[in-house]
Amino acid sequence: GLFVGKEGPMIHSGAVVGAGLPQFQSISLRKIQFNFPYFRSDRDKRDFVSAGAAAGVAAAFGAPIGGTLFSLEEGSSFWNQGLTWKVLFCSMAATFTLNFFRSGIQFGSWGSFQLPGLLNFGEFKCSESDKKCHLWTAVDLGFFILMGIVGGLLGATFNCLNKRLAKYRMRNVHPKPKLVRVLESLLVALTTTVVVFVASMVLGECRQLSSTSHSGNGTLSLQSMSEDVNSSIKTFFCPNETYNDMATLFFNPQESAILQLFHQDGTFSPVTLSLFFLLYFLLSCWTYGISVPSGLFVPSLLCGAAFGRLVANLLKSYIGLDHIYSGTFALIGAAAFLGGVVRMTISLTVILIESTNEITYGLPIMITLMVAKWTGDFFNKGIYDIHVNLRGVPLLEWETEVEMDKLRASDIMEPNLTYVYPHTRIQSLVSILRTTVHHAFPVVTENRGNEREFMKGNQLISNNIKFKKSSILTRAGEQRKRSQSMKSYPSSELRNMCDEHITTEEPPEKEDLLQQMLERRYTPYPNLYPDQSPSEEWTMEERFRPLTFHGMVLRSQLVTLLVRGVCYSESQSSASQPRLSHAEMLEDYPRYPDIHDLDLTLLNPRMIVDVTPYMNPSPFAVSPNTHVSQVFNLFRTMGLRHLPVVNAVGEIVGIITRHNLTHEFLQARLRQHYQTI
């Protein structure tokens, strides 16, 4: 089969279950309804996803503590003390549930909870006849550090090659029909099969066994080894009482091959280990990223174990260090290569310790992983971070660099605001929602008094004119954008739903209602500037509108209000607008209706929506002079998605999202900052 691991799909499956469980509803089973009003927020959903990912790791390796640390180190961008206990409990439950069913199904002894996880690395123990053997000594730490350096270099090479392959797939494979992805997977599988057979037949060596006994299916057993290791030795066209070392590594499941490298008393020739490492390195790098559920832990462990076993053979054969234990070097090699690829330290150390049940390996594994991480970080990022960046996911780091404190919130914010008024016409709301993908919108009013002060030259008013004069979204520009987007709507789709009982003058049949509406230039505040209309000939001072900030309203809330017909007529008071309860607003969570699925024939663009009862009037906000590190910590600790930037007089001058805090974005803004100095 393909050189992939099972832990990746298990982590993904656990995260999917965690994301779907708190919803208590299904698209396929719509008739089954649960009135469960809890866990209905994005924060709760993130917590369940973190717990599900940790449960997947715990089930794969039998390492509940390692699964918890994995979720903390790699799977979460928001963490708190309460979440630690919840995730640990979930990981423990997953581990013991797996052990309960394995004890009954595989071993016929229900309730034997001492069984390991799906991946078992066996017991590391020197032979009683070898008095000079030690699992590891202080002298071996020097070799472990060197192996960590080499593992970091190999991991950086792996990540570089895989990144190039991923970019190639994004440009040439993913845009094409899905059949191309299937064909690519078949090509990788075919190539892997051919390479495995040819390498085993041509490059494999027939090694002599000290004592052998035949068993079925061309498999030999060593009496001096444990039964698990014995049953996985392959003859593969070799004479009797010999085995093919290359076939033993290639034709076994990856878990069995890892056990061979960890515990096999027989030898693998250095040439075989070198060729196996090279072929497995290239094929696993090519395989990771194709359209097949796959994990990277097990292939990296096997590839690194071959590297570690090769080092042990060279030290024994050419340097004469007979005291070393080959299994320890294989384990350290696996940790070095895996650490160089994924750049994990704490969680990977605990996972390997829990999988081997050998606490004495804690120090050498930790040292090796740290050296491998430092070496690899000198060249590129970990494989997970690389793919996260390629997908454009704004996953934040743990902290920003020290030099980023030279930037302020005004340097990284987005000044081109798309905003709504407290009382906004349906025409404007539909245009905004259809022409943007923002998750939330600031609710503002135009401060006419401050505008007059600005036109008089008074510097007391809004600072946003100082930050990005050329980038300010003017009311004229927004009006044009909204009007252009509305021109694509068929006029026959615009009909009244909210004021069915209000008599309105019917337009002539041949007259375009929408065009008439646009020509009259309706605005949410028709009496604000009754004698003026936005014009491109206006100066910056005339176009500029200081925006007083009142709160934030979510996209899902606006769409829900439109779907439910929450609006009122211009001739009526906003008190006549229907009111929705909190439960009604969250009724469609988490699959809120999409604006493009909205039936425009049920909407009257002249109607007005009062968003003030549904907006958040006191969201988290920062000053334009706030340091980037403080903004970053606020996002990390509070799990925010957007952060308004408000000046001293209560006017919004920009907004910050997670995309504005990614490492690449901050680096680009820092370069611009240096250029302007």
Cα–Cα nearest to 295, from 51, 48, 22, 74: 74
pLDDT of residue 238: 83
| C-alpha–C-alpha distance, residues 337 and 620, integer Å | 43
Domain endpoint, select from 86, 105, 124: 105
Tokens of 631: 């903004």
DSSP class per residue in 439-459: SEEEEEEE-HHHHHHHHTT-T
- 3-class DSSP assignment, residue 642: strand
Q: Is residue 546 domain-resident? A: yes
pLDDT of residue 193: 93
533 plus 620 within the same structural domain? yes
Place of tokens 């041509």: 202
Place of tokens 């994301």: 19
Domain harbouring 198, CATH code: 1.10.3080.10
430 plus 546 within the same structural domain? yes
147 plus 198 within the same structural domain? yes
Tell me the pTM. Answer: 0.76
Q: What are the C-alpha distances in Å from 415 to residues 76, 450, 547? A: 29, 19, 12
Q: Is residue 12 domain-resident? A: yes
Q: Is residue 438 domain-resident? A: yes
- 3-class DSSP assignment, residue 557: helix
* 8 A C-beta contact, residue 304 and residue 337: yes
190 plus 286 within the same structural domain? yes
438 plus 376 within the same structural domain? no
What residues make up the domain containing 86? 7-105
Which parts of 391-424 fold into alpha helices (H)? 409-412
355 plus 412 within the same structural domain? no
376 plus 411 within the same structural domain? no
pLDDT of residue 210: 55
Q: Is residue 392 domain-resident? A: no
- H/E element, 368: helix 362-377
| C-alpha–C-alpha distance, residues 45 and 630, integer Å | 25
pLDDT of residue 428: 87
572 plus 478 within the same structural domain? yes
pLDDT of residue 233: 78
- 3-class DSSP assignment, residue 439: coil
Q: Is residue 497 domain-resident? A: yes
- Beta-bridge partners for 441: 553
Residues in the chain: 677
Domain endpoint, select from 78, 105, 132: 105
55 plus 191 within the same structural domain? no
Domain harbouring 466, CATH code: 3.10.580.10
Task: Walk along the chain (677 residues) in steps of 10 and give the mean pLDDT of each run.
Answer: 84 86 69 69 82 89 88 76 87 87 77 68 71 77 94 95 94 90 93 92 80 39 46 78 85 86 79 93 93 89 93 85 84 94 89 85 93 94 89 80 88 89 89 89 78 43 35 42 39 38 41 42 34 42 67 92 88 86 79 81 85 91 92 86 90 91 89 85
Tokens of 430: 């539909």
359 plus 417 within the same structural domain? no
* 8 A C-beta contact, residue 75 and residue 53: yes
Q: Is residue 148 domain-resident? A: yes
Q: To the nearest 10°, the Cα dihedral for 10, 16, 17, 18? A: 110
Domain endpoint, select from 347, 382, 417: 382
> Which residues, including other chains, have CB under 8 Å from residue 497's CB and lie 6 or more apart?
565, 602, 603, 604
Cα–Cα nearest to 474, from 424, 526, 539: 539
Q: In the chain, how many domains are there?
A: 3
Q: Is residue 568 domain-resident? A: yes
472 plus 410 within the same structural domain? yes
496 plus 611 within the same structural domain? yes
Residues 347-356: b if buried by 16+ CB within 10 A, e if exposed:
bbbbbbbbbb
How many CA atoms lie less than 13 Å away from 127 in the CB half-sphere? 15
Q: Is residue 506 domain-resident? A: yes
